[in-house]
Structure formats: C-alpha cells, structure tokens
Structure 1
Amino acid sequence: MKNFLFTKNSDLLRQKVYESWEVVKQWFVSTPERSLAQAYDAAKKIRNIEIEYFNNQIISAASVNETPNVMSYWQSILTQNLTIIKLRLAEFQSSRTLLEISNPVLLEKLQFIDEVIEKYQQQTLIISKVNQQSVSQPLKIDSEIYQNTSNVVNPATNNRSIGFLPSSIGRTINRITTDFSPNAEADFIRNYHISQNRTRTSVRFLLLLIVIPLLTQRFSKEFLVSPIVERVRSQQITAIFINSEMEEEAFKELKTFEEQLKFQTLLKKTPSLSPEEIESNVKEKAIDIAQKFRKKSQEAISNVFADLISLVAFAVVVANGKKEIAAIKSFIDELIFGLSDSAKAFVIILFTDVFVGFHSPHGWEVILEGLAEHLGLAPNRSLIFLFIATFPVILDTVVKYWIFRYLSRLSPSALATYKEMNE
C-alpha cells in the first residue's frame, strides 16, 4: 500500500513537472514573435502620433507650436514607447535563434521599427547631453572625479576650482540665470521626466536582480532539482549523512531520546519498560531520525544545484541589462553625492563597523556556518577563522585606500567630518 501511494504521488509529481515544463517551453518558444510584435505595436503608436499631431514629422517642439505641458505629455509617451521598443528588441535578439529570421513579414516589421527609431537616435543623444549639462556644478565635478580612475588629475578640474571668487557664487548666479530663462519650465519638466524614468528603471532592475534569482532558485528546486535528487537517491543505496556533523547530530539526538526513556522510567512517570521495549522504542526513533536526516541531505544537495541555476539566472539578467546597470550607477552616484557631509561620514562608519569592525568576526562566523549548512557542508573551523582573519583585513585596507585616494578629492569636508566622528 505504501509503495502504491509513493508510485502514485511520483506519477502526479512527474505529470505536474511535465505540464509546467510544457508551459514554460511554449512561452519561451513564442518569445521572439511576441517580443517583435510588442516592439512593432509601439513603433506604430509613435508613427500614428507623428501623422495625427505633428504633421508627419518627429515628436518634437520644433515640429508644432504647443505649450510646454502638452509637449511634456507627448515626450513621456514617446519615451515610454521607445523604452518598450528597446527592451522588446533586446529580448528578440537574445531569443531569435528559435525563429526563422528570413521570414519576410518579420523583416518588414524590423525595417519599419528601424525607420521609426532612427529619427530619434540623434535627438536622444542631444537630450542626454542637455540633461548632463543641467546637473548642478558640484555634482558634475564629483562625477568627473569619481569616474577618473587614473593617477593623473585633470588640470581643468583644478583650474575650475581656483578663482578670485568662490565657485559657489558663480553656481548661484548661473542657477538664477537659468531660472529666468524662457525655457526654464520646459527644461525642468523634461529633466524631471528623465530623472523619474531613470529612477524607475534603476529600482525595477534592482528588484529584478533580487527577485529573479530567488524565484529561480525556489521553483527550480521545488519542481526540477528535488524530484530528480529524490528519485536518484531512492533508486540506489546512498549514505544517509553527507557529512560528519550530521552524523554526530543524529547520534546525539538518539542518545538523548534513550536517556529520556530511562530517566522517565526511573522516576515512575511512565510504566516500567523492559530492555526489549526500550530497544524497540529506540529502534523506531532511529528510523525516524534516519528519514529526517535523509531528507535533510536531499535538501542540501538540491540547494547546491538550485543555487547554481539561480546564479546562471542572475548572470543572464546582468548580461542583458548593461544599460540598466549604467542607469543604476548614475542613480547611486546622484543619491550619494546628494547626501550631506555628516550623512556620508555616517554611512562610511556604519559600513566599516558592520563588516570590518570589532564585532564583525562573530557576524562573519554566523554567515559562513549558515552557508555551509545550506550547502550540506561540515563547517571547517580552521577555514572559517582563516577567512575571518584575512578577508575583513583586506576589506578594511580597500576602504581606507578609497578614503585616502578618492574621498579626499570627492568631498574634503566629508573626510574631515568622518575623521571627527571616527575619533
């Protein structure tokens, strides 16, 4: 009866895995056509807007005479559809090997999409340059210094910081002049939409970097790896324990159970048990412990393969998101440079104290032991202590070098605040 139920459950699980695989396979096979169709629809929307509202010209303030608010609306629609085209074409290019590319209909769609987006490539470059120039002067200087990884300091940067009047006065005058410009409102709205889109892109991509590997690890372990590992281990005689620590833990649990039985018998809390009855109870407990640790071993083996699959998924997301990574870098730079000096010093002190501070070895020890247990490895105390003795030291050296090499030029006042707070 037990074998029948096990076989029935295995068949149901196999059928469920097969159905899920067919759904995923069908979705993946249809990805090229679906991606190209979505990009084509977005291109048609842009083309229809050009014909109906911009006299068959590009969507730009130079084509028609509209108010800044109306142009901001059309610009947001254009940006949204161009983003859809970019993402869907990237998805199509990465999966086009599954599709016959010589199909005339597909080639016509690709040609139409290229004709639509080609007109906006130069305009996008111009908007990007204007957006970079509209950033405040301190942020611009900090970004240039941050991106400069060579040992040579840019003379123009040094010359720009030396003058008869403080540079902040010049920046204030430039900001007032910009505020009185006739295009100040349109520039502000345009820069706001660009910053908004960049923030949305960065947050969405960061969520994808977290969610996709986690979901991949969970579902691959549940529906793919675990059934395979369970079937392989059930078809052949395998060891119950995959490391010595599991074995010691099982023996300790069994010994504790046996001592509890004897203790309760001596205290007359349970009916007197003969040695044969005690042995029978211990034997049943041993079987339960063996099943428990066999399942624990299967979980550890499944974790290894599921983690590898999730790493592959993470690498795929990173490889297909180079532009999003650049947006994240710009977003983080703007976020960090926007902090006050005391906030920057607080973040640095918090980071260094958590990862390389006095109490950090205990945290590293807990993390490494948890990782070893997750992968089914016996924690090696010597290796753990060796890691704790070397890695935080290396990390502390890197942080100190960064503070000495870059923070002194990025924000000298933040460096002074950091020294005062650290002392």
Structure 2
Amino acid sequence: MKLQDILNASRRWLSSTPERALDAAYRAAIKIKAIEDDHFDGQMVSASSVEYSDSVIKVFRSDVNNYLSTIKARLAEFRISRGLLIFSDTQPNNSSQSIVRYTNGFKDARGELTVVEKLAYIDAIIYKYKNPTVEDVEVIPTRRLEKNQKNNRLIINNNKRSLALNQSISEKNAKDSNTETITDKTSVLPRSFMRTLGRIRQEIDPQAENTEEEVVKRFRKSRNKTAISIRFLLILIIIPLLTHQVSKSLIIMPLVKQYSVDHQQQVLFINQDLEEEAFMELRNYEEELRFKSMIGLIPALSPEEQEKKIIEKAEELSLAFKGRGINAIGNVFADLFSLLAFAGIIYFCKREIQVIKSFLDEIAYGLSDSAKAFLIILLTDMFVGYHSPHGWEIILEGIARHLGLPENREFNFLFIATFPVILDTVLKYWIFRYLNRISPSSVATYKNMNE
C-alpha cells in the first residue's frame, strides 16, 4: 500500500470520527431514556420516582452512570475531532455547515436527525443528572435566555427537581446505606401475622386505585430483582467455567506439553501414587499374559515375544500416565485463572451481590415451615450426618486426582474429623441466632421432624 493511500484512508477515518462519536453518545442517551420510560415512568432514575429497593435503584443508577460516562467521552471526542477536521479533505467551509451535514443516516422513530437535533436530545437527557447548584442555574447567559426561553425554563425546573431528588436520596442513604433484607427485619409479633394484617388493610382500603398501583410497582420491583439475580447467577457460573476451558486449551496446555517434551523424565509421573499405579498395571498385564498362555487362551509366547509385548504395554502406560500428569498440571493453573475471574466478578459487582442476597433471602425465608425443616435436615444429614464421611472421602479423592496431588489419608481423616464438626456448629448457631428469631415455628418443626 502506498503512503498516499494510507494518508487518504486516515483523512477519511478522521472526517467520519465526529459523526461516529456523536452517534455513540446519542445511542447512550436513548438507552437512558429507555430505562426512564420502562422502569421510572419517564422520570429521572431515582428512589423518589418509583418504589424500588435501594439495591435495584443502585443497579439502574450504575447503568445510567455508565451511559453518562460514555456520553461525556464521546462528546469530548466529537469536539476534538471536529477541531482536527483541518487535516481532512472533506472539511466544510464553516462550522455551521459542518454541524448540519453530519447525519450519517442515523434514524429513530422520528426519522433522520441532524447533529443539532442529536445534541439537543443529548443535552435534554444529561441536564437531569448534572446536579447543578442554584448559582449554576442563575448564571445562564442573558442572550441564551432571550433566544430560547422555553427550553431554559424546562432546564431550570429539571435542575430544581434534581436538587430535591438528590437531597431526599442523600437523607435516605444516610439513614440506611445497606440493603435491608429479611434477616434485618425483626419485630415483636411474627412476620406472618403482620403480613396478614397488612393484606387485610389493603383489601379494605377505600383508595383501591392506589393499592393497585402499589401492587403493580411491587410486581415490577420483584420481577426486576429476579431477572438481575438469575442473570448474575448465570454469570457467576458461566464465566469461571469459560475461563477455565479457554485458558487451559489455548494457553496452559500448549506450554505444559512443550515443557514435557523438554523434560520427559520429570513430567512422566508427577507423584508417587501415579507411578505405583502404572507399575501395578504393568505387573498385572505381565501376569495376565502368562496366565492366558498357560491355559491356552493365547498361543505360547517365547521369552522374546513376551518381552516385546511388555515393552509395548509399558510405552502405552507411559503415554497414558504422562497425559494424566499434563492434564493435572493444566487443571491447577486453569483453576487459578477461574478463581481470579470469580474474584473479579465479586469485586466489581458489589451492587449485584446485594440484589442477589436480598433475592436469596426472600426465597429461603419465604418457604413454608415444613419446607425449611426438610431442607435443613437434608443438608445436615448429607454433609454432617452419620454417612457424610464417605461422601467427604470421595470429594477429597476427586479433588486430589483433579489437581494431581498424592492421596494423603492422614489429611483426609483429619479433615473429616474437624470440618463437618465446624460446619455443624455454624449451622446450629445460625438456627439459634437467626432462624429462631425470624421464624420460630420453623425451628419447632425442625425439632419435631428431627426427633
């Protein structure tokens, strides 16, 4: 490619940068407007617009903040790239013409828009989230007020509304900064009794229309919480698994195989248990050949033929156990990558963690008393019951085989003797400290079923 072609392509890319950046900012503004229309009745994303929980409001607010950051970055790119259009062959004669020509075929429900219309739409969206002070509103230039008085009155009203909403949100967050879950709601009377009284009060309330609106809002809130929780649970499961498979297949295994080619003796048996297992299989194969030859199942073999078959079997076993060792080493590093991916999701998705905690609390404490008691008995008998040591042995052996570690029976016995006891103590403390306070009837049902 010639230098002139490269320069022409660079000029064309630079000339299209302003419209590309403005389109990205405009799409982000449309997404903010969609969130407002779908979940907040066309109003600003805040706790005062609809009756969502603090966790759901934080999730929506985080999405809006991300879109606002995108708008800010793209508008800055738009302004800078327009200033650099002097290097492009498609530079317009004046700046007013350059504004109205960047249409790029971008359409929405109103048809094709010019840059002026896109900028006006973006400004109308971001003004509500700028949180200006009263002084900022009062210093608007006089000429702009005279030119577009109607739009500026709307901007001032939106600014005042934003101030009031932000004050109410800050007062609410000062009172309770964390998500309130069922474990935090305790009262003198049982919760079921209070729920029954509340339902009766709603049914005989003369303001039936308000009650229906509250029911619809609660349903939307529960639906959004469920969708966010299920999506985040899938992310917690799928991303670590994909990280494990991709890192193991594309990065780790080729490196380990190359290392095994250069160090065959070291990677042949990664632990003593694999070596003993290989020797045992080779001895069994040799005895099987001798036994079949003695009873006539196979023709009698000369010492040279028998030695040749044993050598072939030894080579086959060496390849098989070498592959098991390479796979175990790959599992170790792939598990580390998966653990880092899981930790990264937990660190960067704290708001989703609060939502899913509230969602799981509602599911767990929303079960009937017999269902709670059944699940508690099932889990305790499975992990800390009489037959649990056999299950823990299988789990520990599977983990050791997965990581290529030698089996240590002393460690297995020590783990089985201590960990289930600690788990049982923690479970009993949870039943005494939390479940007995939140749902005493469930504890009574659990004791009756356990007896």
Name the CA shift for 1:36/1:375 in 2 (closer, same or farther; >3 Å). farther
Aligned to 1:388: 416
Asked whether 1:86 is paired with 2:113, we answer no
Name the CA shift for 1:45/1:90 in 2 (closer, same or farther; >3 Å). closer
8 Å Cα contact 1:241/1:294 also seen in 2 = yes
8 Å Cα contact 2:21/2:77 also seen in 1 = no
Of 210, 219, 222, which residue of structure 1 is paired with 2:249? 222
Q: Which has the larger radius of gyration?
A: 2
Aligned to 1:409: 437
Give 1:205 shift: 0.4
8 Å Cα contact 2:328/2:403 also seen in 1 = yes
8 Å Cα contact 1:42/1:85 also seen in 2 = no
Asked whether 1:268 is paired with 2:268, we answer no
Name the CA shift for 1:324/1:38 in 2 (closer, same or farther; >3 Å). farther
Give 1:218 shift: 0.8
Higher mean C-alpha deviation, range 333-342 or range 201-210: 333-342
Secondary structure of the residue that 2:296 maps to in structure 1? coil
Asked whether 1:248 is paired with 2:276, we answer yes
8 Å Cα contact 2:400/2:406 also seen in 1 = yes
Within 5 A, what are the aligned runs for 1:5-404?
41-47=27-33, 59-60=42-43, 86-87=62-63, 104-105=76-77, 114-117=126-129, 122=165, 143=181, 146-147=183-184, 157-158=187-188, 161=189, 167=194, 170-178=197-205, 180-239=207-266, 240-404=268-432
8 Å Cα contact 1:213/1:314 also seen in 2 = yes
Gaps of 5+ in 1: 1-33, 62-70, 130-139, 149-153
Percent identity (aligned): 45
Higher mean C-alpha deviation, range 310-319 or range 117-126: 117-126
Give 1:107 shift: 9.1
Gaps of 5+ in 2: 1-19, 81-118, 131-157, 173-179
8 Å Cα contact 2:370/2:442 also seen in 1 = yes
8 Å Cα contact 1:365/1:384 also seen in 2 = yes
CA distance in 2, matches of 1:115, 1:324: 27
Name the CA shift for 1:48/1:192 in 2 (closer, same or farther; >3 Å). closer
8 Å Cα contact 1:101/1:107 also seen in 2 = no
Name the CA shift for 1:372/1:419 in 2 (closer, same or farther; >3 Å). same
Name the CA shift for 1:46/1:204 in 2 (closer, same or farther; >3 Å). closer
Give 1:282 shift: 0.2
Name the CA shift for 1:358/1:49 in 2 (closer, same or farther; >3 Å). closer
Name the CA shift for 1:384/1:40 in 2 (closer, same or farther; >3 Å). farther
